[in-house]
Structure 1
Amino acid sequence: MPSIKFSNVLLKSCPRSVEYPSLYCRSTAPWFYDQEADGWRLSEKGQFDFTTYFSSLSVKKLVRYASATAFTLEIDVKGAACNIVQTTADAFAGHPVELEETTVEVPASDEWRHVSLDLKVDDKAIIVGFKIDTSGVVFVRNGAYFVTVPHELREVNLLLSTTTFKKEDYIKRNVALLKSEILDSDDELASHFGVLVVDNGRTLEADSLSAAGIKVCPNANVGGAGGFARGMIEALESEKNYTHILLMDDDVAVSPESVRRTFNLLRIVNDDYVDAFISGAMLNYEAGNEQWEDTGYMTPEGYCHPAKPRLCLTKFEDVVYNEAYRVPEEIKRLHQRYAAWWYCCIPVKTIRTKGMPLPYFVRYDDAEYGIRCSPEFMTMEGICIWHDPFDKRYNAANELYQTTRNELVAQFTTGFAKNSDFEKEIYHKLTLELKKFGYSGAELILDAFEDFLKGPDCYSAKGFAEASFMGANKRKEKLVPLVEVQNRAHELGLNFSLSQIDRQSIESDQPRGMAERAADYVTNNWQRAIVREGSGYAVIPAMGGVYPAGAIRGKKYIIAIDWYNRSGVIRVKDVKRYKEIERRYKADLKKYKSKKRELGQAYEKSHSRVTSVAFWKEYLGMNKNQDPAL
């Protein structure tokens, strides 16, 4: 039976390992790389526990995904005498359990000694790892887990495709890491791996960044969806016979070890998971031990939601929970789960059978594709990226215009999220913006609704994706520096002072009684049925989706603040504008209901066209004699 080196015992010298060392090794003493010794220095007598997010082994999942039958730890050590003992954890483990019978006593030595430890794994084990008890300074290197499977290894060729638009620093850093740690290494992956950078901004120096195994591809500004579609076409038509494409955002930090584990998992996967997608978890770029999402799903209410709760991956019990987690039945029954394209590995044969993405710019391209393909999903500790958290970069053009249009287009075209009520979701989203005097946001929602009503020839026309995105960004509410908010407040005669504002006051709400709730429902904050001018002001978060109902009720002004970016805007109650938006919505809804059947037929008919390679080549300007910048 074949055995492969599946994953490395990961130790890193980087700011993240300094700030969150317990992602790699929990210890009672410092550890760091010693260049002279060519190994990691466990600096003094103590305990060094490698049962961590990056350095343990997810045996439960390897049995499920790969039918794995045996596991081995291999590691080199030298220095003071030490003991190496296997650890294990079941679903209830609050700390690693040492299996004393596996203890290997390593005598003191100035020469490297190789230690091989056959790991004991029972049916209850979720993860396994090891601890090193040292009597003094010990050096370690070449730590790795080997996995044995009862079937032949699969031939895998992996293309990593990342799309960028003027984010050169992220791209250059990630490409340099992938080059130095994979392409220039003696790892078997190196000869089965390629990197494609799709440059939508056309600002990268292609010649200087390109190298053996790395290609920079200038592309039209067609958003993430168009960039990833270009990557899919390259994978389909490459002479390198790529079996899988790994889609990855540009504005992320990646560990090459995640790519290595992805490749190795694909090589050993069993027949049940051979067509599965591998989904990399999203960790918080700013708080690197926080996991925000590890696959998501569309809720019945029409919103994207993580399939797991947020977890702290420096907590041992959360590492175990993360690997033991079973997606709840109520989520499974929806059949609306997806893997986000910040890190998603897709079999190339799936693209051949299921087609290409829909021609969006951003938003829901990944969700629609995942739900349309309906694959099994594989996730595993150590397969992840770090990404900026969403609540720090809210953009109304994305969250109000793009999502509104794209969810309807997808549902009508490919049957996306059939168990989600997007008509009701649009109504609730619109109403929320109006209650908060977010008239610009409400108008963006209706802009999107009306563009959907134009039919599939509108959104799929060449140039429309970029133009509509740029237009929505121009029309969205403009936030200004807080000092300008303060000046505007003084002009309006408001007793508002930035010195009295902090995050707590921005995010606070006020309680409401039943009568107040009923009045707010009927009047939409006193803008319909019973109209009142309002008085005073409320300070609320600028981000959409939040509803500080008690704070805003009865007010004339709303000061919306993005505390993280130190900006904000003052909204003024405008009943006339409210009524215009309400009339517009009713007219749009009437048109929608009268055309729903016709729209459904038109969008459904367009499905095969807009997801074909031929369409996308034309859309991207890849056909002969066409300028690819068009």
Structure 2
Amino acid sequence: MISMKFANILLETNPRSVTYPALYCRSDQPVVFDEQLGEWEMHNAGMFDFSTYFNSLSVMKLKRYTRAKGFSLHLELKGASCEVIQTMGDAFAHNPIPVEGTSRKLEASADWQIVDLPLTVSDDMVVVGFIVKTDGSVAIRNSYYELDIDGELNDVELVLSTTTFKKEAFIERNIGLVKDQIINSGDSIAEHFHMYVMDNGRTLDAEKLSGDRVQVVPNDNVGGAGGFTRGMITAMEQTPKATNILLMDDDVAVSPESIKRTYNLLRILKPEHREDMISGAMLNYEIGEDQWEDIGNMTQQGTFAGCKPQLRLTLFEDLIYNEMYTPTKWQRNNMYAAWWYCCIPISVIEKNGLPLPVFVRCDDAEYGIRCNTGFITMNSLCVWHMSFFERYNAAVERYQTTRNTMIAQATCGMAPGADFMRELHNNIRLELKKFGYENAELCLDAFEDFLKGPSFIKKPGQSEQSFMAANRNKEQLVDFETLQSRADQDPELAGFSIKNVDRQLIDGDKSRSLAERLEDLITDNNQRYIKKDGAGYAVIPLQGWLYPAGAIRGKHKLVVLDWYNRKGTIRTKDVQRYQEIKKRYMRDLKYYKANINRLRKEYAAARAELTSIEYWKNYLKMD
């Protein structure tokens, strides 16, 4: 048996740990950091529960995926007398349950005392943790969970690859954390780790930021797909060759401990799980205790969705749910790990090829579904990422998503049961009902670019040009001051004042009768069959997937607000433009029906080339 330190007991001083301390320690007294001594102190007499998202141990999954056979807790404490008690959570636990016969009492001491506590782990336990009951202030340092491993540790060379485009503040901070807490940590990972930053915006000081085991690579703007692909190729060709690559978004906050635990997990995986992907969770950057997603799936309706409901990770019962969730049959067949934090074995890349050259959106979903590996998730493996509501972009959601899902399904057979034509139809109708004519046209731009066949996306530079065109053609937003100025000049918006608008008004809706619902369905808000200009205005949210049907019906103007970013625009009903878009859509559908079988064959035939190293090296100008 080999013993290894698996997970440090984590306490941090950052905005998330300060605002949401129960991710680390639940307590009835404060846990404070003494900067002079460099020590954490459990302040005053109290109960300090470390059975948390970051400091519990996921024993159920460790037993399932790894060769761990024994579990123990190492603590270093000094100060008042205290008692350490092991806790556990099973399938029905709402709160941590103390485990009988696993406590250790310490007398008061001004010197550091070591506690090595063997942990009792039974088959019904999902997580284990510990509580410290103190009779006064107690300091804690150098504490961790230790595992006994059956057999030798796996050889792991881990690459962290991130792609950035003008997100200097985020990426420079993350580089600093990696250098300080991983490369200079003295842990095993320090000698088996590289970080590659693909700078698509060419705005970083590559010479200044690069150094021992960190390399910033100025890159053309080839999107996330191109940047991550360059990271994959670089990882495969480095010396020593990487065994695994961890893909991570640029605009995230990360705890280096998550990366360390990912590395340690890779070292102890069972042979049958060494080609699984490790899927880190996306926690809400604004509400740091909330998990949006840790594993995704492509739905039958042709949309991206998390497999699990949103969870609050300061609730113990949600920690249990997070670990025990079993995907449905559909989800298992259409699952993917998003590239905000996804660790992929290099052997999987060699077997399945590289991603598709789709710039952004759907590259990670298609790749995860194509590779069809197992997926490992685990409490504490995560990043904090800005929510999708805060960064809604019609060029991404209406152009990129529409085009790329169709390309992925035709080229690599992604989610064959998902109906992307239905999603296209629904999105166009939704935009037209809300007078979002520019965004409806983006859907058709995407559809028509898909209909051009694989030769269109094959050309280097085309994906960037298409995305830039979509950003130019999308509905343009203005700041609130400019919006108010435009409203003041519009007689139909008399009385509108941004100062009188609040979230209740923006997010509100009105009820509709059955007759009104039928009329809206048939006429697309009185733009088809029954054609009325409407009167008055409504205030609605920007996000394209929202449908405030009662608020918008019968209106002639819509004030559309992105309150997160303090921007908006004014839409005007235009029945003639509606009809022109519908005619264009009908022409496109006619072409689609006549040519889809040919197109599918052409896309499928292009798969080998589009996912090859030779193609991508030429695309990325690496030759």
TM-score normalised by structure 1 residue count: 0.97
- Return the letter of the residue paired with 1:442: A
Which residue identity lines up with residue 13 of structure 1 in the other structure?
T
Question: SS of 2:68's equivalent?
Answer: coil
How far did residue 512 of structure 1 move? 1.3
Q: Which residue of 1 aligns with 2:110?
A: 110
**Structure 2 residue 447 is matched with structure 1 residue 430:** no
**Cα distance 1:330–1:356, how it changes in 2: closer, same or farther (>3 A)?**
closer
Q: Is the partner of 2:607 in helix, strand or coil? A: helix
SS at match of 1:535: coil
Residue pairs, 1:160-171, within 5 angstroms: 160-171=160-171
| Aligned residue runs from structure 1 range 51-130, under 5 A | 51-130=51-130
Structure 1 Cα separation of the partners of residues 392 and 372 of structure 2: 29
Aligned positions of 1:358-377 closer than 5 A:
358-377=356-375
Q: Which residue of 1 aligns with 2:497?
A: 497
Matches within 5 A, 1:115-194: 115-194=115-194
Tell me which residue corresponds to 1:477.
Answer: 475
- Tell me how far apart the structure 2 counterparts of residues 249 and 454 of structure 1 sit (CA, whole Å): 30
State how far apart, in whole Å, the 1-side matches of 2:485 and 2:172 are.
41
CA distance in 1, matches of 2:140, 2:512: 61
> Which of 442, 445, 448 pairs up with 2:443?
445
Structure 1 stretch displaced more, 423-432 or 508-517? 508-517
CA distance in 1, matches of 2:56, 2:513: 51
Aligned to 2:379: 381
Q: Deviations over 1:455-507 (max 9, x none)?
A: 10101211101100111000110111223222322322123222331111111
AA of the residue aligned to 1:397: A
1:113 is matched by which residue type in structure 2?
Answer: Q
In structure 2, the partner of 1:569 is 569
Match of 1:602 in 2: 602
Candidates 340, 343, 365, aligned match of 1:342 = 340
SS at match of 2:257: helix
Report the 3-state secondary structure (helix = DSSP H, G, I; strand = E; otherwise coil) of the residue aligned with 1:133: strand
Q: Distance in 1 between matches of 2:389 and 2:439?
A: 17
Distance 1:418 1:149 in 2: 41
Instruction: Note if contact 1:557-1:570 (Cα within 8 Å) is conserved in structure 2.
Output: yes
Name the residue aligned to 1:266.
266
The equivalent of 1:550 in structure 2 is 550
Match of 1:26 in 2: 26
Distance 2:305 2:446 in 1: 22
Q: CA deviation at 1:67?
A: 4.1
1:409 aligned residue: 407
SS in 1 for 2:11: coil
Counterpart residue identity of residue 105, structure 1: K
Residue 222, structure 1, aligned to residue 229, structure 2: no
Which 10-residue stretch deviates more, 151-160 or 255-264?
151-160
Cα deviations by residue, 1:146-200 (Å, 9 ceiling, x for unpaired): 1223232110000000011111111110010011011012101100111001111
Query: After the TM superposition, which of the residue ranges 34-43 and 370-379 deviates more from structure 2?
Result: 34-43
Contact 1:245 1:347 in 2 (8 A): yes
Aligned length: 621
Counterpart position of 1:398 = 396
Partner AA of 2:62 in structure 1? L
- Is 1:280 equivalent to 2:280 in the alignment? yes
User: How much does 1:35 deviate?
Assistant: 4.1
How far apart are the structure 2 equivalents of 1:442 and 1:521?
Answer: 17
Deviations 1:61-80 (A, max 9, x none): 10111142211001111111
Separation in 2, partners of 1:84, 1:490: 66
Aligned-partner SS, 1:297: strand
Separation of aligned partners in 1, 2:28 and 2:362:
45
Q: Does 1:456 align with 2:454?
A: yes
Residue 248 of structure 2: aligned partner: 248
Question: For residue 235 of structure 1, what is the aligned residue in structure 2?
Answer: 235
- The alpha-carbon deviation at position 330 of structure 1 amounts to 4.3
Amino acid at match of 2:15: P
Partner AA of 1:217 in structure 2: V
> Which digits, 9 at most, give the CA deviation of each residue in 1:394-452, with x for residues without a partner?
00000000011101111110001111001111011101000000000010000011111
| Matched position secondary structure for 1:459 | helix
Unpaired segments ≥5 residues, structure 1: 624-630
Q: Measure, in 2, the Cα distance between the counterparts of 1:470 and 1:500.
A: 35
**Counterpart contact for 1:13–1:32, Cα < 8 Å:** no
RMSD: 1.1
Distance in 1 (CA, whole Å) between partners of 2:323 and 2:468 is: 41
**Partners of 1:194 and 1:481 in 2: CA distance:** 42
The 3-state SS of whatever aligns with 1:99 is strand
Q: 1:486 aligns with which of 478, 484, 487?
A: 484
Using the TM superposition, give the Cα deviation of residue 558 of structure 1 relative to its aligned residue in structure 2, in angstroms.
1.2
Query: Which residue in 1 is equivalent to 2:510?
Result: 510
TM-score by length of 2: 0.98
Q: 8 Å contact 1:81–1:136 — kept in the other structure?
A: yes
Preserved contact between residue 199 and residue 219 of structure 1 (Cα < 8 Å): yes
Q: SS at 1:102's partner residue?
A: strand
- SS of 1:353's equivalent in the other structure is helix
Write the mapping of 1:299-378 to structure 2, written as runs, cut at 5 A: 299-332=299-332, 335-378=333-376
CA distance in 2, matches of 1:490, 1:11: 52
For 2:594 and 2:378, the matched residues in 1 are separated by 48
Q: What is the rounded CA distance, in whole Å, between the counterparts of 2:42 and 2:382 in structure 1?
A: 26
Task: Tell me which amino acid in the other structure corresponds to 1:112.
Answer: W
- In structure 1, how many angstroms separate the alpha carbons of the residues matched to 2:428 and 2:547? 12
Stretch of structure 1 that moved more, 559-568 or 440-449:
559-568
Would the alpha carbon gap of residues 38 and 463 (structure 1) be closer, same or farther in structure 2, given more than 3 Å must change? closer
Q: Which runs of 4+ in 1 moved over 3 A?
A: 35-38
How far, CA to CA, are the matches of 2:488 and 2:168 in structure 1? 41
**For 1:186, what is the secondary structure of its paired residue?**
coil
Measured after TM superposition, the shift of residue 38 of structure 1 is 4.3
Partner letter of residue 225 of structure 1?
Answer: A
Partner Cα separation in structure 1 for residue 140 and residue 571 of structure 2: 60
Q: What amino acid maps onto 2:64 in structure 1?
A: R
Q: 1:374-400: per-residue Cα shift (whole Å, max 9, x none)?
A: 110001111000000010110000000
Quote the Cα distance in structure 2 between the aligned partners of 1:286 and 1:8.
25
State the one-letter code of the partner of 1:500. Answer: N
Quote the Cα distance in structure 2 between the aligned partners of 1:538 and 1:36: 57
Aligned equivalent of 1:540: 540
- Asked if 2 retains the 8 angstrom alpha-carbon contact of 1:293 and 1:307, the reply is yes
